[in-house]
A = this chain, B = another copy of it.
Amino acid sequence: MKMIHSMVRVRHLDKSLEFYRKALGLEVAERLDFDDFTLVYLRGAESDFELELTWNKNQEQDYDLGEGYGHLACSTDDLDAEHRRMREAGVGPADIKEFFRDGALLARFFFIQDPDGYKIEVLQRHGRYL
């Protein structure tokens, strides 16, 4: 049993595709168009795990994101460079945070939000977050 993708529903597919390419370098691995909906599988260069976007064409209001789902997390070798790059690209990253436990650095990260408001955590490759 292998985890292969995570699916979220999006309101404006083109905006989402642009965001995920610009922010995370995810490209369209496959796009499946149907009458009422489109499925898009996004993939990065470093992993075969995919993000599936579902675009329901008749959805007329923003999705209620609830409070259960937290985020998708990505790791990078150079958090500061990614933060700077995203700031300049207009992605709007939040400030870089550091999370310590018993004096040891657990995580160094920042959050971004996609066009629907889904949170994405970008982590410096370190410790658990490789």
Contact = CB atoms under 8 A, between A and B. Distances in A.
Contacts of A65: 66, 68-69
A30 to B, nearest CB: 6
Which 8 pairs show the lowest CB-CB distances between chains A and B? A66-B66, A7-B70, A69-B69, A63-B68, A2-B46, A65-B68, A64-B66, A49-B49
Given A1-B82, A2-B46, A7-B69, 12 more contacts: A3-B51, A3-B72, A3-B73, A4-B47, A4-B129, A9-B67, A9-B69, A34-B101, A54-B70, A63-B66, A63-B67, A66-B69
A52 B3 CA distance: 13
A48 interface: yes
Interface in A73-109: 73-76, 82, 101, 106
Interface of A: 1-9, 24-26, 29-30, 32, 34, 41, 44, 46-49, 51-52, 54, 63-76, 82, 101, 106, 116-118, 121-123, 128-130
